[in-house]
Amino acid sequence: MAPASEGPQENIFMFIPNQIGYARIVLGVASLYYMPLHPRTCSLLYATSCLMDALDGWAARKYEQGTKFGAVLDMVTDRCTTSCLLVFLASAFPRWSIVFQGLISLDFASHYMHMFSTLTMGESGQSHKKVDESRSWILNQYYSKKWVLFVFCALNEAFFIALYLLSFSSPTLSPSLLAPPSAAGAPPAPKPSLFLHPWSAGAMELARANKMDSFWPWVLAGVSFPVMAGKQIINVVQLVKASRWLAEGDVADRKRAGLPRKKSS
């Protein structure tokens, strides 16, 4: 092979799809900043970051700049942004926190096992989005058809965005975070400071005081819920298939190593 120093070297980090990935990170961080107090601004920034997920794939194909670094960057960005939103929902809906914690764990475990099994068991340079139909028909349809992948990912995020908006507009789902009125004869509860920490209970309560009072978050949640549930089923299938694929590799490796060794009588 020719030495790596010969010829012009490409700067992988500055490829167009990777620059789009950096922009998604900036938008995601900005949405986290506005998340406790500004639901409209946060939702706009977060949704824009999610929609740009399709743009980086298009750019990679158009400019022939698909890279392993870009694939990992895209997946890590997706997992981190979704997890941050679910962490907020766990604090906004404490009774359902175990559900959101489970969704975070399933999301990370499923995608990590899938990518690791693809890198170790697949062909050299094989993408994690290339799943043979004989291994899993569901995953083949999910990854091979771009519109299917886009719809599932978009509506999955839309459901969690709808829950986020409902945490500011629905006292039924998310009760008051401030202390209840003091009993008769007891000293009154202190009023929240004008300069609140953005993640404090008082700050969120002040944000809820300016309620959105919109019916559309309920509509968005109802429409996107079946797709979100389907996405979680796909995550379970992905986790199981990746685990079995790795186990097949372990069996083959042990056979080549002559394991288990026969014990002498």
Would you name the residues annotated as active-site residues?
78
The percent helix, strand, coil of the chain (3-state, each to 5) is: 70, 0, 30
Six-digit token string for 152: 């599932």
CA distance 259 to 173: 56
Residues 6+ apart with CB under 8 A from 142: 131, 148, 149, 152, 234
For residue 265, the tally of other CB atoms under 10 A from its CB is: 3
Nearest CA-CA partner of 245 in 253, 255, 256:
253
CA distance 83 to 106: 11
